[in-house]
Amino acid sequence: MTCTEVQDMLHGAETPLFWVGAFVVASMFLWIIYRLLSGFRVWVLGNGQLISPRLGKWAVVTGATDGIGKSYAEELARRGFAIVLISRSQHKLDDVAKSLEDQFGVETKIIAADFGKTNIYPSIEAGLSGLEIGVLVNNVGVSYPYPEYYLHIPDLDNFITNMINVNMTSVCQMTRLVLPRMADRSKGIILNISSASGMYPLPLLTIYSATKAFVDFFSRGLQEEYRRQGIIIQSVLPFFVATKMTRIRKPTLDKPTPERYVAAELNTVGLQSQTNGYFPHAVMGWVTTKLVPIAIVIFLGARMNRLQRTGYLNRRKQREQKNGTGLKTD
């Protein structure tokens, strides 16, 4: 093949290659514009007017006496819902109920229940009987007292049972109790509070991470089953929030107060079936699932938790030595 023939061949390919490149560039540009507009719709405009008592007079919140659960109860009461508070401590339930009644002038109902047990649901069902429930927030959850290797977890048998009952069984059972009446009315919202640790395995918090992954999968599967019936089931995956469970005392931009987190998260309902709920958390979720290889995310998570474990055990050892007792840390 002569040089002239090669030049003619390349010249003939210029036009098709130009249009292929133009198509790729245009597609990327349109994708970026779409993502920016979608982000603006979710994180700036929001969907805050969707959640109102038009869905049903009552909102039910589990794990409602502290942290994110309490903030959901307060925000839903501010929007005019009567609130059913379900948690373990009768004393705390009484305090939160009185606060909601005094501050927002709404009706409240309390149900004391230990979600670590499985025989509680008949009494919860009786307590919810006859109520028109528009919103259910499955928030109750339990984590590790400190990061730990699986076989070193104290009282492992009971630990497993309790975590599964609280983090997984509660979500399934509460949904079983509330969803049928929502489906009959073709409206209702269920918010299942998972965790960013359910987006990928988190070593040394392995059981917690796995239970939260279950909540995410359960929520997304049910959303597809019931969305045509007018039901919204949302999986909520927060990163760190300044709550008693996380032991974060000082809020920051990426570790918001529960009030700030809940206000932001409720604006995403109806726009995202799976959400990190808060813009900085959404950025963190995108980076850790789209940009960083999963092996690196797992490695860094394990490293962080090993450091936290070592720090916790060293502090505990010092306290026990001070008190004249020993501690085995292997």
How far CA 141 is from CA of 67, 125, 209, 214, in Å, comes to 11, 20, 12, 13
The one-character DSSP state at 268 is T
pTM for this structure?
A: 0.87
Which pLDDT does position 14 carry in this prediction?
Answer: 66
Q: Which residue has the tokens 């925000």?
A: 75
Average pLDDT of the segment spanning 33-55? 83
Q: Name the average pLDDT for the chain.
A: 91
Query: Left if phi > 0, otherwise alpha if psi is -120 to 50, otherwise beta: which for 158?
Result: alpha
The sheet carrying 188-193 orders its strands as 108-112, 82-87, 58-62, 133-138, 188-193, 231-236, 274-275
Average pLDDT of the segment spanning 185-189? 96
Per-residue pLDDT for 176 more than 80?
Answer: yes
Domain boundaries, the chain: 51-291
| Least confident window among 138-142, 153-157, 231-235, 248-252 | 248-252
d(CA 197, CA 300): 13
| Least confident window among 31-35, 198-202, 279-283 | 31-35
Which pLDDT does position 4 carry in this prediction?
Answer: 65
Per-residue pLDDT for 328 more than 70?
Answer: no
Per-residue pLDDT for 40 more than 80?
Answer: no
CATH topology of domain 51-291: Rossmann fold (3.40.50)
- In one-letter notation, the amino acid at residue 265 is E
What are the residue ranges of helices labelled H in the chain? 3-40, 67-78, 90-104, 121-128, 156-164, 170-185, 206-226, 258-266, 279-286, 294-322
Task: Answer yes or no: 208 catalytic.
Answer: yes
Average pLDDT of the segment spanning 62-77? 95
| Least confident window among 27-31, 61-65, 295-299 | 27-31
Select which of 208, 226, 261, 278 is catalytic: 208
pLDDT single digits (tens) 120-139 = 999 999 999 999 999 999 99
